[in-house]
Structure formats: C-alpha cells, structure tokens
Amino acid sequence: MSRESLAPPKDSDVLLIKKTSSFETFFENHIGLFLLLPIIIYFLVFLVYPVGQLVYLSFTNTKGVPSLTNLFSLATDPYLSSVAFNTIYYSVGSFAAEFALGFIVAFLLYFYRGRLSTFFRMSYSIPLMLSPVVSALLWLLIYNQNYGPLNYILSILHLGQVNWLGNSTYSMPALFIVNMWEYSPYVFILVFAALQTVPIQLHEAAAIDGMSRFQMFRYVLLPNIKGPVLIAALLNLIGVLKSFDLVYVLTYGGPGISTTVMSFYIYEEAFSFFQDHYAALLSLLYLIVMAIVVSAILKYTPIEREIGLKS
C-alpha cells in the first residue's frame, strides 16, 4: 500500500527496465508473501496443529475412539470448582497487589526530580528481569519459617511467626506478595513511561493555577495517561492468569489444593495423573476463556493505536 501513496511511474515511463527471470519477477511481485512464509509456517506448526490436536484429544478416549468421556469427567470433577475459585482468587489478589504498588511507585518517582532518580528507576525495574523460578528461590529463603528474615522481623514486632507457605490461610497471600514483588515493576515501567509523555506545559499551567500535587494527579496526570494505564492493567491481568512457575516452585499447589490454580491443575492432570485427554479438554476451555479476555482487550483498549497499527 506504500506504492500508491507516491503515484509510482508506469512501466512504460520507467527508463531503466532490468531483464529478470520469471522466478525473480514472481518473487519480486509477491515479496510480501515470501517474507511472511516463516510466520505462516509457524502458525501452522505451532498453533493450528496443536490446537487441532487439543480438539482431537478432548473428544476421544484413551484408545483414540471418539467419545464424550472427558466432558463427563469435567461435569463430575470434584476439584474443578475449587480450582476455578483459586484461579480467580489468585488472579484478582496478585493483580490488585501488583497494580496498586506499581502505580503508586510510578507516581511517587514521577514527583521526585532529584539525583537519585536513575538509581530508583533501576531498582524498581530489576525484579522483572529475574525468572519466576529464581524469584521463588529468593522468597523461599525470605519466607523460611524458623530462620527467615521475615519471621524474624515479625517476632521482633511481637507479631508471632507465620508458616507462610505451609498454612492454607497464608499460602495464597504469600504468593500475592511474590507476584507483587516480581511484576509490579512491569506496571511501574508502563505507567512511568506514560507519565513522561504528559506535556510539560500542563505542569506549568497547573503550577500557575496553584494546584497541589494531589489535584495535579487527579485532574492533570490521570486523564492524560488513561490509555496506557488500561493497557498495563489488562496485560498484567493476562500475566497472572498465565502464571504457573511461581505456584509450582513455591507451593506445588499446596498445602492441600489451596493454591492449585488452573494452569497447575492442567499440568498435574497431564503429567502427574497422566490424564492427557482430560487435560486437553481443560486446556481447550482455558484457551477459549483467554480468547474472550484478549478480544475484550483489543476492543476496549487503545493498544492497537498505541503500537501504530491503527491511526
């Protein structure tokens, strides 16, 4: 579509016409298709085929005969409601913690304009680089019931010791904290970057009007970063819905099934209980739920405009 914009010369107008073989001409005329070939192959191999296999596995039994046994298992699965509840609890809790902290940190740093701002920005971004497994290792040391620094500080404050990962009341909040530590930097980066784009003239106008910092936050900054904040929120929500690694390493879904979220449940069904047909059905359902969430994101956030796909 770039060609029309400049009103290119017709073949007859061009002075220099090169002789090319027919393949070269074909290649030249369909360059877009050739460049897209790798990703088309990718889509077929890594998306169409696996999803097809999910459908096939979902509606066959272990002998490969078409059947609805998996749907029956789904309807009678005694754990499914707990797992669904855990998934929602985990997602909402982690998301709220991540988002609140990242958002507040971005604004605090925005109001600070001193020499240390680069240092602060770096420190708030670092956890994002670490893998969930390494983060889990870090927090296992912090959460250690008898010798960890967290319980030590609590005991100094006479708040008693908490068995963070071994008690079903605290295991979920413990995961929220780790999620908050690891992924609030993500919200921070997005919101902080959005704040930088607020025009400086608005600041000057606000200063002349004698606005307080809170008024400025409420009436000048917030309305100007609504789009990116929405994107940050929804991308983060997807992140927590996907989460598997932290649960696997920190609690292994336990104690009991108190932290068994959907992705961990699918993993267990497939690789601990070897119910790969049932796991495929669960995966398919999960995929549909995610598809709905993603479509909502595309529809209700300016993400496509943000990346320059739509104007």
Partner 1 sequence: MKNRDFILITILSLLAFLYLFPIYWTVITSLKPNSQVFTNPPMFYPSSPTLTNYYQSGSAAGAVAQSATGALPYIVTSFVVAAVTSFLSTFLIGAPSAYALVRHVRGKLWIARLILFTIMIPEIVLVVPFFNIITHAGLLNTWWALMLTYISFTAPFSTWILIGFFSRVPKVIEEAAEMDGMPAFQIFQKISLRLVTAGLIATLVLNFVNCWNEFLYALVLTLTPYNFGFPPYGAQTSQVYISSFIVVERSVAWGGLAATGVVTMLPVLILGLFFERYIRVGATLGSVKG
**CA-closest candidate to residue 237, choices 86, 88, 91, 90:** 91
Q: How many CB atoms lie within 10 A of CB 85?
A: 11
Query: Cβ 110 to partner 1, closest distance in Å?
Result: 11
For residues 240 and 94, is the Cβ–Cβ distance under 8 A?
yes
Q: How many CB atoms lie within 10 A of CB 259?
A: 23
Query: Cβ 2 to partner 1, closest distance in Å?
Result: 5
For residues 212 and 234, is the Cβ–Cβ distance under 8 A?
no
Instruction: Identify residues 141-160 at the interface with partner 1 (CB under 8 A).
Output: 141-142, 144, 146-149, 152
The residue among 104 and 220 lying less far from partner 1, judged by its C-beta, is: 104
Instruction: Identify residues 170-189 at the interface with partner 1 (CB under 8 A).
Output: 181, 185-186, 189
Give, in degrees to the nearest 5, the angle at Cα 212 between 228 and 198.
30
Query: Cβ 206 to partner 1, closest distance in Å?
Result: 16
Query: Cβ 189 to partner 1, closest distance in Å?
Result: 4
Instruction: Identify residues 224-243 at the interface with partner 1 (CB under 8 A).
Output: 228, 231, 235-236, 238-243
Is residue 100 part of the contact set for partner 1 (CB under 8 A)? no
For residues 258 and 172, is the Cβ–Cβ distance under 8 A?
yes
Instruction: Give the CA-trace dihedral at 265, 268, 270, 274, to 10 degrees.
Output: -140
Is residue 279 part of the contact set for partner 1 (CB under 8 A)? yes
φ and ψ at 60, to 5 degrees? -130, 160
Q: How many CB atoms lie within 10 A of CB 109?
A: 18
Contacting partner 1 (CB under 8 A), which of 68, 96, 290, 296? Answer: 290
Q: How many CB atoms lie within 10 A of CB 107?
A: 19
β-sheet bridge partners, residue 64? none
Query: Cβ 292 to partner 1, closest distance in Å?
Result: 11
Contacting partner 1 (CB under 8 A), which of 44, 84, 96, 193? Answer: 193
Distance in angstroms (rounded) separating the CA atoms of residues 300 and 230: 9
Query: Cβ 51 to partner 1, closest distance in Å?
Result: 8
Contacting partner 1 (CB under 8 A), which of 127, 174, 259, 260? Answer: 127
Is residue 84 part of the contact set for partner 1 (CB under 8 A)? no
Instruction: Identify residues 1-20 at the interface with partner 1 (CB under 8 A).
Output: 1-3, 5-6, 8-9, 14, 16, 18
Instruction: Identify residues 259-278 at the interface with partner 1 (CB under 8 A).
Output: 262-263, 266-267, 270-272, 274, 276
The residue among 24 and 204 lying less far from partner 1, judged by its C-beta, is: 24
Is residue 308 part of the contact set for partner 1 (CB under 8 A)? yes
Q: What's the chain's Rg over C-alpha atoms?
A: 26
Distance in angstroms (rounded) separating the CA atoms of residues 218 and 110: 14
34: amino acid identity, one letter = F
Is residue 111 part of the contact set for partner 1 (CB under 8 A)? yes
Query: Cβ 109 to partner 1, closest distance in Å?
Result: 6
Tokens of 112: 């600070």
Is residue 102 part of the contact set for partner 1 (CB under 8 A)? no
Contacting partner 1 (CB under 8 A), which of 84, 108, 159, 205? Answer: 108
